[in-house]
Structure 1
Amino acid sequence: MKYEQQIGYRYPKGRFAMVSVYAFTGAAILASTIFSLLLFLSIDENPMMQALFGGLAIIFEAGKFYAWYEYGERRAHRNYTGALTALVFYLVLAAISIGGSVGGINSATNSAQSHISVEQAKVEAYNRQIASIDKQIELNNMAAQKYIEMERIATGVSRIQEQNKKLREEQQRLATERDSLPPVAQGSVIGLIDSLAKAFGTTSSQAQLGLVVFLSILLDFFAAFFVGLIGEENRFRHFFRRNDGITLANVRDIDLEPAGYLPHLKEEEELEMPASIEPEEPKSLLEQVSDALKGHQVTCTKKAVAKQFRLSAEEVDNVFEELTELGLVGKKANHHYHWIGQAEAV
């Protein structure tokens, strides 16, 4: 079992590590929930409908991460059918959550983009007015040329020059107002979107969509990873507490050495052991089970014996058949076993 293998080289995570894991998990789940709420709350402006859609978003988010936690639990217990069912539920809810995150992040980026667009529109309006004045001055100059050709400089040209003077003053005023506008503050996200668009040779809208989808998927997988880590650590802690008294012999049985084990000290102890003292032969599995049942260390059921000695279904069946043949265990009318404990040797 994988937890037996872990006991030999690691201990449960400390308080700081677990606090950090829970903090990261909570922050990721909260961010994912907020982005989903931004999308669901924009569906309807009715306060009651917003409350219903907001509750639905929270239920989806909580159910999604619980489904992922349940997937890890069932897979650890080798319930692969249940694990597949939990995984399907998670994938469906994750798709909804990623869609909500995409909508929420996209809404936030669009708000920043719209602010920049409004400021740029003001500048463009001034530029258009200045350009129209340039065209008017150009037309006036063409008319003045006609008056010069007609030798009506005193009447026509003087009037046109006066108009051009007023137009240039208006143009200068507009340019001053345009230049006095505060500079458009481009946020880091908008700058990143523009850089991605230039790097991949695409439009800003497509680069924005790709960035938003990537961030949404990354946020969801980030939270799912830490939820799975919490579940795995809880299962290991439970196994570690249950097997806190594991001996060196138990560790050797799983081909592991405990932390701090020094092989040379063991070799010295073996050399110091008198040669006349022969080590006792290890008891057979049947004898161990018989002693445990006789001393009431375990109840006389296949499930309890299999759990205590970590036996497979076939092995525990064989043990109970041998105990029944030896008359140590009897079977009741309801097919339950009970300890008899006859004097016959095992």
Structure 2
Amino acid sequence: MLYNQDLAVRFPKGKFAMWSVYSFTGASILASIVFSLLLFLSIDDDPLMRLLFGGLAVIFELGKFFAWYEVGERHARRNYPGMLSALGFYLVLAAISIGGSVGGINSATNKAQEHVNVQQSKVNVYNMQIQAIDKQIALNDVAAEKYIEMERIASGVARIQKENNTLRQEQQALAIERDNLPVVGQGSVIGLIDSLATFLNIKASSAQLGLVIFLSILLDFFAAFFVGLIGEENRFRHQFRNMEPLTIEGFSPAESATAGLLSHFDDTEIVAEVEKTPYEQAIHALSSNRVNCSKRAVSKHLNFSSDEVDDIFKKLFDEGIVSKKANNHYQWHGVKETEAEPEADLV
């Protein structure tokens, strides 16, 4: 039997694989929509305007992925001008989406950074008070040295030492309060930003912006990849259904008695097909219902070029073997009994 080379090495994906693809696609599209909503909803505080901008964000996101799906569809049909127009439309919407994702992710990371900054400011206040006490103690020590020079140890130095002891106790109390402040856990994103800033020797704000842009672009490409994968799989499934090779299950019970001679029949048929002209091979494939009456199906099944298939269908149309429907699809009428080729005798 004759098998298409592509179908011999690949079969449609199973249910588990397709459910996984649809899950990843839905999750990535939903995440992209949410991040765009975070940006568009912050444009205006009016409820009506928030509703309008939110709807606009959803339309942009869904339109973007549909445009990418159309890119694959038009490329498969070899409609390159249409593919370029759909690609341009996708790029415009993708730029808007990436901008929305950048704003949304940046807003989320800023909120996480705010909690760390608030806690750090409290620690800084305690540190400033402790440093002020250190300076006061230092000034008192200078004054004590002056009193020692003036031999007023009993009156001046004793008073300063007592004051310094009070200041040190206050300093210790402040240090204990500072150390007892609740620890704010540093999120993974904040830790990653700090690590990138240290590694690249740049500011934390620059590292944060670079990380946010990278994550936004990655999210868009991730979703676009799975949308394209779904489109490619749907096209392959359609071709697979229309080009499924004939197997022994396709024979009637009466014909199955000749199963012992199938291998000999296959070899003979392959040699006969090779010796036939392209026109005769097409007639044989169409008359035996091995392929649908369409140029693409015949081209894929027999590995003919587009020009060869065009010539074959023109000849079939001129001879009245096929006709065109109202939707420009071809309809097979068959050949007369005198024109049909005799079937190979299996016995």
Question: Is 1:269 paired with 2:254?
Answer: no
1:269 is aligned with what amino acid? H
My pick for the range that moved more, 183-192 or 70-79, is: 183-192
Asked if the contact 2:40–2:50 (Cα under 8 Å) also holds between the matched residues in 1, the reply is: yes
Asked if the contact 2:98–2:216 (Cα under 8 Å) also holds between the matched residues in 1, the reply is: yes
Cα distance in 2 for partners of 1:292, 1:272 equals 16
Give unmatched runs, 5+ long, in structure 2: 248-259, 324-329, 341-347
Residue by residue over 1:287-344, the C-alpha shift from the partner in whole angstroms, topping out at 9 and shown as x without a partner, is: 6778999x9x9xxxxxx664564474675457646975x89999xxxxxx999x9999
Cα distance in 1 for partners of 2:65, 2:153 equals 86
Cα distance in 1 for partners of 2:5, 2:151 equals 108
Cα distance in 1 for partners of 2:186, 2:178 equals 18
| Partner of residue 96, structure 1 | 96
Asked if the contact 2:67–2:90 (Cα under 8 Å) also holds between the matched residues in 1, the reply is: yes
Cα distance in 1 for partners of 2:211, 2:267 equals 69
Mapping of 1:158-307 within 5 angstroms? 158-244=158-244, 246-247=245-246, 269=264, 306=295
Cα distance in 1 for partners of 2:241, 2:132 equals 83
1:138: how far off? 1.1
Cα distance in 1 for partners of 2:266, 2:5 equals 29
My pick for the range that moved more, 315-324 or 60-69, is: 315-324
Give unmatched runs, 5+ long, in structure 1: 249-264, 298-303, 331-336
1:90: how far off? 0.8
Residue by residue over 1:208-246, the C-alpha shift from the partner in whole angstroms, topping out at 9 and shown as x without a partner, is: 2221111111111111000000000001111111223x3
| Partner of residue 116, structure 1 | 116
1:285: how far off? 5.5
Question: Is 1:57 paired with 2:57?
Answer: yes
Residue by residue over 1:83-112, the C-alpha shift from the partner in whole angstroms, topping out at 9 and shown as x without a partner, is: 000100111111111111111111111111
For residues 271 and 40 of structure 1, do their structure 2 counterparts lie closer, same or farther at Cα, with a shift above 3 Å needed? closer
Asked if the contact 2:38–2:104 (Cα under 8 Å) also holds between the matched residues in 1, the reply is: yes
For residues 204 and 279 of structure 1, do their structure 2 counterparts lie closer, same or farther at Cα, with a shift above 3 Å needed? closer
Asked if the contact 1:327–1:342 (Cα under 8 Å) also holds between the matched residues in 2, the reply is: no
Asked if the contact 1:133–1:171 (Cα under 8 Å) also holds between the matched residues in 2, the reply is: yes
My pick for the range that moved more, 224-233 or 182-191, is: 182-191
My pick for the range that moved more, 281-290 or 225-234, is: 281-290
For residues 268 and 132 of structure 1, do their structure 2 counterparts lie closer, same or farther at Cα, with a shift above 3 Å needed? same
Identity of aligned residues (%): 61
Count the aligned residue pairs.
309
C-alpha root-mean-square deviation of aligned residues, in Å?
3.9
| Partner of residue 12, structure 1 | 12
1:195: how far off? 1.7
For residues 270 and 40 of structure 1, do their structure 2 counterparts lie closer, same or farther at Cα, with a shift above 3 Å needed? closer
1:126: how far off? 0.5
For residues 179 and 28 of structure 1, do their structure 2 counterparts lie closer, same or farther at Cα, with a shift above 3 Å needed? same
Mapping of 1:61-76 within 5 angstroms? 61-76=61-76
1:132: how far off? 0.1
Asked if the contact 1:116–1:184 (Cα under 8 Å) also holds between the matched residues in 2, the reply is: yes
2:34 is aligned with what amino acid? I
Cα distance in 2 for partners of 1:281, 1:117 equals 78
Asked if the contact 1:327–1:344 (Cα under 8 Å) also holds between the matched residues in 2, the reply is: no
Asked if the contact 1:64–1:93 (Cα under 8 Å) also holds between the matched residues in 2, the reply is: yes
Cα distance in 1 for partners of 2:190, 2:337 equals 86
Cα distance in 2 for partners of 1:184, 1:343 equals 88
Cα distance in 2 for partners of 1:329, 1:47 equals 62
1:18: how far off? 0.3
Cα distance in 1 for partners of 2:112, 2:75 equals 44
Asked if the contact 2:71–2:87 (Cα under 8 Å) also holds between the matched residues in 1, the reply is: yes
TM-score normalised by structure 2 residue count: 0.76
TM-score normalised by structure 1 residue count: 0.76
Asked if the contact 2:279–2:312 (Cα under 8 Å) also holds between the matched residues in 1, the reply is: no
Asked if the contact 1:21–1:226 (Cα under 8 Å) also holds between the matched residues in 2, the reply is: yes
| Partner of residue 253, structure 1 | none
Cα distance in 2 for partners of 1:100, 1:128 equals 41
1:100 is aligned with what amino acid? G
For residues 12 and 139 of structure 1, do their structure 2 counterparts lie closer, same or farther at Cα, with a shift above 3 Å needed? same
For residues 45 and 320 of structure 1, do their structure 2 counterparts lie closer, same or farther at Cα, with a shift above 3 Å needed? closer
| Partner of residue 131, structure 1 | 131
